[in-house]
Amino acid sequence: MSYAAKTVFAFGAYMLGQGAILLLVPNLLLGIVGLPLANEVWVRVVGIAVSVLGFFYIMAAREDFRPFFQWTLISRSFQLIAFIGLVGCGFVSPIILLFAGTEFLSGVWTFFALRQSKA
């Protein structure tokens, strides 16, 4: 597994963990980060979606599918910009930027791993 694939694999594992928490005990995570507790099903639906995305990351890493790694650089950057917009508009607490920041920084890690492998 290439270094870039390892970064994507690690992020996929993070996503699977986060998805499992959102699916099984969502209010644990929401409470830790100070977001309103949820009794609706939507947060569990998000947990399923995050888990599915984590699966894609892991499978792409196992196949060393470099185009996927490059695509994630765009999507992870977009997520940070979108979350900043949501915070700026007052739709959500700035604490949500912890998640977007983690996603973005992991994308930076993948970016440098991809650059290193080209050299």
- pLDDT tens sequence across 30-63: 888 878 899 999 999 999 999 999 999 999 999 9
Q: Taking the mean position of all CA atoms in its chain, how far away is CA 110?
A: 13
The structure's pTM equals 0.90
Range of the domain at 44: 3-118
Residue 70: C-alpha distances to residues 12, 18, 97, 111 (Å): 15, 22, 22, 8
> How far is the C-alpha of 11 from the C-alpha of 7, rounded, in Å?
6
Segment 16-21 shows an average pLDDT of 96
Q: How many domains does the chain have?
A: 1
Q: Which residues contact 19 (CB under 8 A, 6 or more apart)?
A: 47, 48, 49, 50, 51, 52, 53, 54
> How far is the C-alpha of 103 from the C-alpha of 77, rounded, in Å?
8
